[in-house]
Amino acid sequence: MNHAAIRSQFPLLNRQQEEQDYPLCYLDSAATAQKPASVLQAMDDFYRQHNANVHRGAYQLSAAATAAVEASRDKVQRFIHAAHRQEVIFSHGTTESLNMLAYGLEPQLQVGDLILVDSAAHHANIVPWQQLAQRTRAHVQPLPLNDELCLDDAAFNALLAKRPKIVALGHVSNVLGTVNDIAALTQRIRAAGAISVVDGAQAIAHLPVDVQALGCDFYAFSGHKMYGPTGVGILWGKLAQLDKLAPMLTGGEMIKHVSFSGTTFGALPHRLEAGTPPIAEIIGLAAAIDFLIQFAHAQSHQYEQQLLQQLRDGLAAMPEVELYAAHANNVGALAFNIRGEHHHDVGALLDQQGIAIRCGHHCAMPLMSLMALNGCCRVSLGIYNNEQDVARFLAALQQTIALLTEDT
């Protein structure tokens, strides 16, 4: 891989930090990844040359826009190895996809049903299930973690024995970078008769995703985590499961027939895609997939893992740093704190040196509570990062530690 050539495709990485004489070192790709020029160009080209609404115009411009959106659906289908193109539902992101599920599954729940949720989940994979439980008088129970902050296997089996209705997991933790073995877990979930839901937002840019091999019932992810635009995401589901979902949004595009005596809904995928979709963003997502598939996945993954190991080794060598769940098989992210210092102070001092990382609870307050933390620092990697980025971060963190501890 020519890493310099890859990095050169990301215009924003060439900028200087405002008010500081430092080049930008962007280490917050778990929050949102930067966009290559090909994605920006695809969206700009649509608005300048092809802008029209889809699925409803009899003129050539609309037909071309419709063809572009449906070609993007086919591209997503191939990218995640879905069995049918109708299984690919466009949303505005992982959060909307999971809310669509929590709403759409409501008719299938009864009073007292059990919903199991990963304790390391992002709020987007917790709160919708809590709201669903309130509406149906079901019950949400967290899946415990072990001392290494991974799913506790014995507790998982014990809770599956309670015959849950839904089990919601994260593929990769957005805080820790820990990876759940989804294929193995979904086998057990299916044997227990439950519906499996996977938040793949943090996995999609780092791991190969084959939804058929994973065996889950639903998988959700966002475009902006995988070098695409914000405002677009995917809800994938097995065809039979999607067909049972009640649509969360109703109105234009998703209907077969409307009269004041009643309405019948159309077929998948449009039944779950009410209204005008994010057309330019869907086209940008297709361009992001084109960008990603040009690289040998094994090679890019190996390089990212080398950078992650460089980060682990550098942080572990600093006695002032407390690392959290820094396992060898993590992907994408590492979480840490400087002992005795507030994570926001660390982030602010790093920013003054041109280093962009994330500090806070990372939309994972239950996980923070389990870790007895009010927040932490997170450094996360993208395909554009290199050894110089990691070295700059580690040097800046040493300087930050010196500044914070100079009076102690």
Residues with a catalytic annotation lie at 363
Going across the sheet that includes 114-118, the strands are 88-91, 233-237, 218-222, 195-199, 166-170, 114-118, 139-143
Task: Give SS3 for 120.
Answer: coil
Task: Give SS3 for 334.
Answer: strand
Beta bridge partners of 220: 199, 235
The two counts, helices (H) then strands (E), for the chain are 14, 15
Quote the CA–CA distance of 38 and 288 in Å, as a whole number: 8
Judge contact between 347 and 357, C-beta under 8 A.
yes
What would the two tokens of residue 86 be? 């109708």
Let me know the angle formed at the C-alpha of 10 by 199 and 222, rounded to the nearest 5 degrees: 15
Residue 206 CB partners (closer than 8 Å, separation 6+): 172, 301, 304, 331, 332
Single-letter code of the amino acid located at 232: V
Best CA proximity match to 343, nearest among 335, 353, 355: 335
Judge contact between 275 and 251, C-beta under 8 A.
yes
Neighbours of 196 (CB within 10 A): 25
Give, for 256, the enclosing helix (H) or strand (E).
strand 255-259
Burial class (CB in 10 A: 0-12, 13-18, 19+), 188: middle
Give, for 282, the enclosing helix (H) or strand (E).
helix 279-293
Quote the CA–CA distance of 179 and 199 in Å, as a whole number: 12
Single-letter code of the amino acid located at 266: G
Task: Compute and round to an integer the Cα radius of gyration of the chain.
Answer: 22
